[in-house]
Amino acid sequence: MYRAPLNDIHYALDTVIGADALAGCDAFADFTPELAHAVLEEAGRFAEGVLDPLYTSADREGARWSEAGVATPAGFKAAYEAFVAGGWPQLRASPDYGGQGLPILLVIAVEELFAAANLSFRLCPMLTQGASEAIAHAGSAAIKQRDLPKLVSGEWTGTMNLTEPQAGSDLAQVRTRAVPEGDHYRIFGQKIFITYGEHDLAPNIVHLVLGRVEGAPAGVKGISLFVVPKFLVNDDGSLGERNDVRCASIEHKLGIHGSPTCVMMYGQKDGAIGYLVGEANRGLEYMFIMMNAARLSVGLEGYANAERAYQRARSWARERVQGRAQGPAERQPLPIAYHPDVRRMLLLMKSQIEAMRYLALYAATQLDIGGGHGDPAVRTAARARGDLLIPIVKGFCTETGLDICSMAVQVHGGMGFIEDTGAAQSLRDARIGTIYEGTTGIQALDLIGRKLQRDGGGALNSLLTDIRAELGAAAGDGNDIGAAVLAAVDRLERAARHILARSGVDAQEAAAVAVAFLQLAGVTLGGWLMARAARRAGASRSGDAAFVRLKQQTASFYTTHVLPRSLSYLAEVEGGAASVLAVDPEAL
């Protein structure tokens, strides 16, 4: 049974990120800790009372395909109706289209609760949000007026259609065709791995589809983006005839069984009617709006799923009596939580979850500042920092979350391998996170390429300068964590210099160690925010002394058990490329 970790999230928002983090953003002038607490309390109730009871049953039942369509697991439709009635789809969207315009910072905190309570359910509104943002950014006035109010309210849902059987992650190979016809296009092609491409939760689905207008340039420069609705929309806003788009099948997957992953067919008859978003041949640029939003959201899924796994492992460790304590003092059988190695695993889980939560919320804060601060220079710097952090959050949090879910099985011992304990479901569900929206390797290439090399490491250097100033100002306050973090910061800077230097000589060398660099960044930035959490604990608004003390102890544990990984990651960055590139791929 999942319990919303509201005290931990309040601490993250109020103490680690800080109540004044969005000062200077006029759009969030009314955002207060009291508002955040009220929203999170309601979200916690919805997560625990509506979504969590469907977690196990949805996994066992799964989504079901037939010629008539796709049926979601029992209870999903009623849960979605309650989700819409509660106004949850509207949190992040602009008030211009019926949204509440709340900061991304708060929305990410809310989304953690929904993702942990029922990841399969939560994927549908996540993609709808991304589709809404892409349309709001690049859609025509007519498309915005027709689609956004319905998407923002949750009356309709949205998808992103990128991948094709021959393309995978290589979107340069997209073959879907778009034939001009008056004010629209006829779309022909096949898309695979389309999450919630068909379902019974809403009467209409707005598909955002990558394709090529006939005669477009080859490669990614010739890709356009189209809105292709499941049902065409009449002039009065009512739904008209069914468009020429069908779900041919759904995939049988390792996890997230309640979420239908669809094979979508466009134009099996006369061609599906689609509407161009923005300008032709700029589709990949527009789709990245969705993908950036999705990458942050998938990153939070890493620690949300891990939080659920941790809660289950912690309960098991407190209840499972096995063996006797080490040493002469205690000889009676004790719960396994008293065994040092089990306690170590629980602390590894807890400390890394906290570090990931802080990192994702900090990244969200940068996106908010980058979109709404009154000072243009501050906006520009925040956007650069947010862009830098997105691949780190996505890659580091999903990889670490997967490790934590595997560790939760280990805490359960042999019973963790048995489906009835539920530990296996978290591990199965977590496995897709490192693949969704670009694998960890793709995130790492984005980090060293588009983000690090683009400005010569400027955004990273700015962040490291701020970290050093913060930790240096706190020196001598009795917190010995800062010194260890500063050493890791030095390693991260050294690794960045190495990546930048070698990228100009042989791009393959940098690519071979890019994931190690991403992990080094995640471990180090997580350590910085854990140090901040420990330092600010004394000023916390929490009146629970034991809670605050545990925050300090968890940060100390992170410093001695997780942060030292920065040493091995640096060694891998500086010396690991040659052994990768020396091997002939045909010999493997």
Query: Which residues carry out catalysis?
Result: 437
* Cα distances (angstroms) measured from residue 37 to each of 10, 41, 103: 7, 6, 14
**Tokens describing residue 348:** 């590894």
239: tokens are 């739904």
> Would you call 264 helix, strand, or coil by DSSP?
strand
Contact 97, 145 (CB under 8 A): no
Q: How far is CA 484 from CA 480, 490, 537, 564, in A?
A: 8, 10, 18, 9
**In sequence order, what DSSP letters do the residues of 417-479 get, joined into one string?**
GSGGGSHHHHHHHHGGGGTTTS-HHHHHHHIIIIIIITTTTHHHHHHHHHHHHHHHHTTTSS-
- Location of structure tokens 């962040």: 463
Which of the 8 DSSP states describes residue 27?
G
**CA dist., res. 166 & res. 181, Å (int):** 27
Nearest-CA neighbor of 364 among 390, 397, 394? 390
Q: Quick one: which H or E segment has residue 356?
A: helix 340-372
Q: Are 518 and 452 in contact (CB under 8 A)?
A: no
